Structure 1
Amino acid sequence: MKILINALENNTTLTTLKLSNAGVDAEAAQHLANFLRNNMTITKLQLFNNEIGVKGAKHLADALRTNMTLTSIDLGLTKIGDEGAQHLADALRHNIGLTELYIQSNEIGDDGIQYLADALRYNMTLTTLGIFCNQFGEKGARYLADLLCYNETFKKIELRDNKIGSEGARHLANALRKNTTSTDGKTLYDVTNDSDLYIYLCGTKHYPSQIDNIKLKPEPRRRLPP
């Protein structure tokens, strides 16, 4: 990583850095974070499937406190867990550059989602949050629903393959109903792998506007509520 960083020090044209599946560990993440503190050109960073862990997440989060050039970062499958999510959440309280954050497949539970939701109440820059394939349930869904009632910046949240259940779906549906961000509203992708949310919305006669903003997998057959 040091060799790569040295090569990038004087580069003023590179805007996307792809380091997925590159064996980046916590030490390498520290070198990368030190480089990013002063970099003014890279806007997109891909670190999917590495061994970054909690320590590496902290190093990167510290860099995000001062780097306002990065707009997109993918930290999926990097073993950051709830504690790593907390470090990133703390950074997002100060960062005004990042618009896309993907932290999928990191075993993030309800606590990690709470850290993120609390921090993002005050972040008006992030528009896309990828938190699919994690471990949070109804409580995490409630934290996200509360966030959606306060934060009017989000355009897309990807939630598939978690454990939110029908109650979590209900909280999210209510938050969508209250949202007035834009004519398109917020989009929740793959909220649940069954039809809980769809059935809830039909039962409360919120078809079709809210359902059009929710992508279910598999997609149920649509019908108008009675």
Structure 2
Amino acid sequence: MLDIGFNQIGDVGAQHLGNALQQNTTLITLNLQNNQIATSGAKHLADGLGHNKTLTTINLAQNSIKASGAKHLADGLKHNSTLTILNLDNNNIGDFGAQYLGDALRDNKALTSLKLSINEIGDDGAKHLGDALRHNTTLTTLNLSTNQIEADGAAHLGKALQHNTALTTLNLDSNQIGDIGARHFANALRHNTTLTTISLESNDIEDDAAQYLADALQHNTTLTTLKLGSNGIGEVTAQHLADALRQNTTLTTLSLYNERIGNVGAQHLADALRHNTTLTTLNVGSNEIGDAGTQYLADALWHNSTLTTINLASNEIKAVGAQYLADALRHNSTLTTLELYRNEIGAAGARYLGDALQHSSTLTTLSLENNEIEEETMNKINELVKRNERKRKL
């Protein structure tokens, strides 16, 4: 591995490295993140990739290769048969750059991971990448987060997923696909049999469309991770997701962080957790759940035997809610991680949790920052958690 990130090597340095890659037969990983590499530097590196037979990973994030540099790298990919991971995050490649890379993906048979976040890619770029996914049979991970993809781009990607049989992970966080775009992905999930992770956080998805995604889970048998945080999801979608969790037997991670499901939505999810036997991670932090919603989830923990991680941070949970959770911890034997930071648990709530930890040996991570808990009490709780961690390692 050669790691020379954050070194301002520029195009001249990239030229030397490109020349070296044409001859080198041992280097596997090259990190060139944040090095002021522009179009000409990308061309030299692409020329090297066209001849190199050993490099499998190159990180060019946070440079300035733009669309013209992406074209050079795309040309290199058409001739390279060993590179499997390419990171071009934050390079301002735009729609044209995405088009060039999409064209390369039609022919390339080696690349498995492509990162293109923060690149000003819009619907046109998404269309070209979607077209490529219809033909590509090797790419398994595509990151398009923090771009400018809207409903039309989502339509192209969604339709591609109905035909693609290789992609397992798709990240579209922080775009603007909206309700219409979410419906396209819901349709895709009904037909796709390879995708295991999809992240659609911060995409202006409201309850009406999120319901379609939830309903798709009743038909999909491969998805293991669904992330929908920071959209406009409320208790209605929580109910649909709960209904899906009663039927679905593959989903292991569900993130609804920073939504507004409230105590009613928490009740729906809690009811599902009594029956679901596959979900291991649930993130409902920052959801206005309060003590009432916490009681529902705590009651579910008495019966659930698969959940290992639950995030309840920033939910206005007070001492009463902490008591409900403490009672559950005395009986639950599978939960290992409980996130409760930024609540209002206070000294009394902390004592409830501390007493429960005296009898529970499974919890190995308990986050209680910003809860107005005295240092002495916090130290005692941390020691009990560390005791559990030591026992777990034995």
TM range (shorter): 0.7 to 0.9
Q: Based on CA coordinates, which of the two structures has the bigger radius of gyration?
A: 2
Do the aligned partners of residues 207 and 8 (structure 1) sit closer, same or farther apart at CA in structure 2, a change above 3 Å counting?
Answer: closer
* 1:180 and 2:381 are equivalent in the alignment: no
Provide TM-score, normalisation by structure 1. Answer: 0.85
* 1:53 and 2:234 are equivalent in the alignment: yes
* 1:160 and 2:341 are equivalent in the alignment: yes
Q: Which runs of 5+ in 1 are unaligned?
A: 215-226
- What is the alpha-carbon distance in structure 2 between the residues aligned to residue 112 and residue 161 of structure 1? 16
> Alignment partner of 1:62: what SS?
helix
Residue number in structure 1 paired with 2:321: 140
Q: Point out the structure with the larger helix share.
A: 2
Judge conservation of contact 1:158–1:191 (CA < 8 Å) in 2: no
* 1:200 and 2:374 are equivalent in the alignment: no
> Alignment partner of 1:129: what SS?
strand
- What is the alpha-carbon distance in structure 2 between the residues aligned to residue 114 and residue 7 of structure 1? 36
Alpha-carbon distance, 1:24 to partner: 1.7
Judge conservation of contact 2:200–2:228 (CA < 8 Å) in 1: yes
Alpha-carbon distance, 1:193 to partner: 4.2
Alpha-carbon distance, 1:208 to partner: 7.1
Residue number in structure 1 paired with 2:195: 14
Opposite residue 199 of structure 2, the aligned amino acid is K
Opposite residue 356 of structure 2, the aligned amino acid is A
Alpha-carbon distance, 1:7 to partner: 2.9
Superposed CA deviations along residues 184-216 of structure 1, whole A, max 9, x for unmatched, are x432113544452x41366xxx587316379xx
- What is the alpha-carbon distance in structure 1 between the residues aligned to residue 369 and residue 278 of structure 2? 27
Judge conservation of contact 1:16–1:45 (CA < 8 Å) in 2: yes
Q: Which runs of 5+ in 2 are unaligned?
A: 1-181, 389-394
Opposite residue 148 of structure 1, the aligned amino acid is L
Out of 84, 87, 100, the position equivalent to 2:268 is 87
> Alignment partner of 2:198: what SS?
strand
Alpha-carbon distance, 1:10 to partner: 2.5
> Alignment partner of 1:9: what SS?
helix
- What is the alpha-carbon distance in structure 2 between the residues aligned to residue 159 and residue 11 of structure 1? 36
Kindly indicate whether structure 1 or structure 2 has the higher relative contact order, using CA contacts under 8 Å at least 6 residues apart: 1
Residue number in structure 2 paired with 1:120: 301
Alpha-carbon distance, 1:25 to partner: 1.3
Judge conservation of contact 1:176–1:186 (CA < 8 Å) in 2: no
Judge conservation of contact 1:138–1:167 (CA < 8 Å) in 2: yes
Computed over aligned residues only, the root mean square deviation of the Cα atoms, in angstroms, reads 1.9
- What is the alpha-carbon distance in structure 2 between the residues aligned to residue 47 and residue 8 of structure 1? 14
* 1:212 and 2:386 are equivalent in the alignment: yes
Alignment of 1:98-113 (within 5 A): 98-113=279-294
Do the aligned partners of residues 112 and 23 (structure 1) sit closer, same or farther apart at CA in structure 2, a change above 3 Å counting?
Answer: same
What percentage of residue pairs aligned between the two structures are identical?
47
Judge conservation of contact 1:201–1:210 (CA < 8 Å) in 2: no
Do the aligned partners of residues 211 and 64 (structure 1) sit closer, same or farther apart at CA in structure 2, a change above 3 Å counting?
Answer: closer
Provide TM-score, normalisation by structure 2. Answer: 0.50
> Alignment partner of 1:169: what SS?
helix
* 1:63 and 2:240 are equivalent in the alignment: no
Aligned residues: 207
> Alignment partner of 1:65: what SS?
helix
